[in-house]
Amino acid sequence: MDPRVYEEQMTPESRIRYRVENLGLDPDKFTVFLATGGAGANNHLALLPVLHELADTHQAVVVCGRNHKAFLQVNEWRRRHPELKCHLEGYCNHMHLLIQASDTIVTRGGTTTCAKALHFGCPIILNAFGGIMPQERLTAKFFLQDDAAVKISEADDLRVILRQWRDHPESFEQLRQRFLGLRYEEDPTLVIRDLINLAREAATASVKNESRDATVL
């Protein structure tokens, strides 16, 4: 990761200030980060109505990557639903700041985003809409095997999870502690290296499987 990711770390006070002054959000509401890859694949329009139902206690940070169509659609949705506080961006190079300003992140099992979330202690909700991609499987397993993350396959899964955390805050705190337990405090780059190795292993396995299938054909 970019060295500045390690340098730009927020204190609890600066985190609240960033939420209010930079993102225009409430300082205290539970903040859900709906992330996407650089290409912009996402399920934002399916998930935002869930957050809208919980607007009294929740708010959103939404990034659309390079998907300009998605950005326009989410912006229009946001205009029509002002009850939900929602900070929206297209492509950005300060994901590490948005992650720090959030309480949880909804993301695919991409290595870089998951590593940043782990480094900054932002629990992951794995987006498994349409299934977990081959290159994401080992990274997803890394987080799910010890119940250190949760997985959603449809919007209702997010609704159930967020209501559970809202009504029983201790359940979120317990998950957060399991998530934090995956970090290597003495050297945060080690876990990033592990995740990258997992991604490479998954990619190699996928190539081998495709090659074997082609040989059979």
Segment 116-153, tens digit of pLDDT: 999 899 999 999 999 998 888 888 999 998 899 999 99
pLDDT category of residue 43 using cuts at 50, 70 and 90: very high
pLDDT at 217 over 90: no
Tell which residue, 26, 30, 9, has the closest CA to residue 17.
26
Cross-strand pairs, 34: 62, 106
Q: Round the average pLDDT of the chain to a whole number and report it.
A: 88
Q: Return the higher-pLDDT residue of 109 and 39.
A: 109
Indicate the number of domains in the chain.
Answer: 1
CATH number of the domain that residue 20 is part of: 3.40.50.2000
Structure-block tokens of residue 6: 């390690």
**Residue 216: predicted pLDDT:** 45
Poorest-confidence range of 3-12, 21-30, 114-123, 135-144?
3-12
Q: Worst-scoring range by mean pLDDT, 101-105, 128-132, 170-174, 187-191?
A: 187-191
Q: What is the pLDDT of residue 111?
A: 84
Task: Please tell me the predicted confidence (pLDDT) of residue 191.
Answer: 66
Write out the residue range of the structural domain in which residue 185 sits: 4-216
Residue 81 phi, psi dihedral angles, 5° rounding: -135, 65
Residue 214 reports pLDDT greater than 50: no
Terminal C-alpha separation, the chain: 41
